Amino acid sequence: MTRFTVGVLPGDGVGPEVTREAIGVLQVIGELFDYQIDTREYLVGAAAIRQAGEALPSRTVQGVLDADAVLLGAVGDPSLSPGRQSPEAGLLALRRRLGVFANLRPVSVHSALEALSPLRPERLAGTDLLIVRELTGGLYYGEPRGRTEAEAVNTLRYSANEIERVARVAFESARARRRKVTSVDKANVLEVSQLWRECVTRIAGEYPDVALEHLYVDYAAMRLVSDPTSFDVLLTENLFGDILSDEAAVLAGSLGLLPSASLGEGPGLFEPVHGSAPDIAGQGTANPLGAIGSVAMLLRYGLKLAEAAELVDETVRSVLHAGWRTRDIARPGARALTTREMGREVVRALKPHVAHGMVR
């Protein structure tokens, strides 16, 4: 039997709630396909600060480096008094330690959810894009950084190598999709963006079958909501990608639906795009489908189990198609499933696949 080890970092806020359902799905996949998937839990974020005194304990680092893939819930807790250590710093350090420089955030619109978006259905229909966000460089990490009472500084720095390696991920991804890369920058103002544009153009030369366009980030932000179907793969630096991916979530109807994969040389990190959502934490109402979609990405990119990944994605689509809704995607006044109930619906929809011989 093939064995895998998955590091699980539930983290803060709704993180533990959605992660529990995601693990339930992962376990069923193990049963269906006859894989032994061992999960090991570790602390990160505010939970780690409370229990271990630091946002990324060394036990967690060791654990994730030894795993085949890592599933993360969410990080962040505004109730924590601002000290030297922030929960978010733990997440950033984790990304850096894993070396996961390419963050993949797919955004598509399920036809049953088109009405949820503020965009007109005719603009939205057919939206299917992939944001490839650089994740371990740029303003998030650049030195020098710091502040005094009267002044603060952050540094935007990218090397050609950092740009080229994430650009390759974007072009490779485009090859498996509609063969178009839109690179986002601010080359009319920033030297870093000028280097970005040069490097991306150079890498594009290795992919003559993929079309490349360059857009300024301000215009890209506008086109994302005025003409979302014009995008296939969107390639961005770290901060631009952070901003554009929240904007793109509006297209899908809810941030709670979106999964992500962060890839590098070692084990990948898989997490829903939504944060810790402190306003609804502990209520059991969070949407677990972003975390479950992240399990699909973990299976596909982390464990290289494409068939299992496709089954999870397809099952999530069928559950939405059947009309099951959590609070964030339910019509006002309509009954909504809890986090647990939605997780159980997905598991219920997965199980018959054995009986029907869809899985070996």
Binding site for ligand IPM (CB under 6 A): 75-76, 88, 91, 242, 275
Q: Is 66 a catalytic residue?
A: no
In the complex, what is the shortest distance from the CB of residue 245 to Mn ion, in angstroms, rounded to a whole number? 6
The item of ligand IPM, Mn ion, none sharing an interface with residue 88, based on CB under 5 to 8 Å by kind, is ligand IPM
Q: Per rule CB under 5 A, is residue 134 in the interface with Mn ion?
A: no
Q: Which of 218, 219, 304, 351 is catalytic?
A: 218
* Segment near Mn ion (CB under 5 A); pick from 37-45, 88-96, 234-242, 339-347: 234-242
Q: Is 218 a catalytic residue?
A: yes
Nearest to ligand IPM of 107, 210 (CB atom): 107
* Segment near Mn ion (CB under 5 A); pick from 93-101, 105-113, 238-246, 297-305: 238-246
The item of Mn ion, ligand IPM, none sharing an interface with residue 128, based on CB under 5 to 8 Å by kind, is none
What kind and span of H or E run contains 159? none
With CA atoms as reference, report the closest residue to 286 among 274, 298, 294, 295: 274
Q: Per rule CB under 5 A, is residue 242 in the interface with Mn ion?
A: yes
Q: Which of 186, 232, 301, 328 is catalytic?
A: 186
CA–CA distances in Å: residue 136 to residues 8, 77, 100, 144, 281:
21, 22, 7, 16, 28
Q: Per rule CB under 5 A, is residue 237 in the interface with Mn ion?
A: no
Residues with Cβ within 8 Å of 181's Cβ and at least 6 positions away in sequence, in order, are: 170, 171, 174, 200, 204, 210, 211, 212, 213, 232, 233, 235
- CA-CA distance, 265 to 262, in Å (whole number)? 10
In the complex, what is the shortest distance from the CB of residue 258 to ligand IPM, in angstroms, rounded to a whole number? 10
Q: Which of 42, 68, 77, 140 is catalytic?
A: 140
Nearest to ligand IPM of 76, 302 (CB atom): 76
The item of Mn ion, ligand IPM, none sharing an interface with residue 91, based on CB under 5 to 8 Å by kind, is ligand IPM
Nearest to ligand IPM of 75, 350 (CB atom): 75
Nearest to ligand IPM of 258, 289 (CB atom): 258
Residues with Cβ within 8 Å of 158's Cβ and at least 6 positions away in sequence, in order, are: 134, 137, 138, 192, 195, 196, 237
CA–CA distances in Å: residue 281 to residues 14, 15, 86, 333:
5, 8, 19, 21
Q: What residues does 35 pair with on adjacent strands?
A: 2
Nearest to Mn ion of 247, 341 (CB atom): 247
- CA-CA distance, 227 to 212, in Å (whole number)? 17
CA–CA distances in Å: residue 263 to residues 100, 102, 132, 211, 234:
4, 5, 10, 23, 16
Nearest to ligand IPM of 15, 275 (CB atom): 275
Q: Is 242 a catalytic residue?
A: yes
In the complex, what is the shortest distance from the CB of residue 104 to ligand IPM, in angstroms, rounded to a whole number? 12
Catalytic residue positions, numbered: 140, 186, 218, 242, 246
Chain contacts with Mn ion (rule: CB under 5 A): 242
